[in-house]
Amino acid sequence: MADASEPKLALLNSESHVAVGAAERLRARYSFVPVREADVVVVLGGDGFLLQTLHEAMQADDPKPVFGMNRGTVGFMMNDWKEAHLPTRVANAKLFTLHPLLMTATTVSGQVVTSPAINEVSLLRETRQAAKIGISIDGKVRMEELICDGVLVATPAGSTAYNLSAHGPILPLQSDLLALTPISPFRPRRWRGALLPQSSVIEFEVREAAKRPISAVADQLEVRDVAHVCVVTDKSTTLTMLFDPDYALDDRIVLEQFSH
């Protein structure tokens, strides 16, 4: 019988055979409840499945804290896989809260699509033609025209993902900043992006949208042929992730800055 002080756990897993096998082992060892009755949701898979789970959690009135264990590939946002002492690990875990971005994309045809993003919102050229994008911050035009393959806005939690691959800065979790990072900039060639307060309203105006079509991507949702994109931090939504205290996400972000 579970200790009354132990959190009630739900269990979700990706469809990979590694995650399925791990879930079977945990279910044979521990008792789990449905997500709606749980104190914490244990997630088995990789970073992609964790993002999917967090997006689904945002649909609930009271999103449950998530404790991920890596049964995928990179697993940067996941704890190490260990079968033993799961309830104790969860009870002793370190909390990290985050606010997602909210993307509002307007297409050339006038369709408006809103979507949250935990890692980043990115604008990407759809064809061989380079993208031409105007950038405004808090209603002020800061760059009349960026010629590039694309541009992205990353949260601290997402700064080590696509943002880092695009040579953007790694942001400490407590920094209250967003990274605005160009993807293969052509003009201005030497522009490397900007650090912005999380309170910023970031707007992208697509130049020559019919000739140079651009997609907007909020984590895993793509909107094609956009004309205008607005990105803000959604302070009304709070997500909670749990990490083992000896290897928390903020420690991983610091270590990533010293990796080769």
Please give the positions annotated as active site: 47
Which DSSP string corresponds to 86-134?
A: HHHHHHTPEEEEE--EEEEEEETTS-EEEEEESSEEEEEESSSSPEEEE
How many whole angstroms separate alpha carbon 96 and alpha carbon 108?
A: 38
Nearest to 37 by CA among 16, 66, 10: 10
Give the angle subtended at the CA of 232 by the CAs of 94 and 156, to the nearest 5°.
35
Cβ neighbors of 214 (< 8 A, separation 6 or more) are 123, 124, 125, 126, 131, 133, 150, 206, 225, 226
Give me the half-sphere count of Cα atoms (radius 13 Å) on the Cβ side of residue 90: 26
Asked whether the beta carbons of 49 and 70 are under 8 A apart, the reply is: no
Asked whether the beta carbons of 147 and 132 are under 8 A apart, the reply is: yes
Asked whether the beta carbons of 152 and 123 are under 8 A apart, the reply is: yes
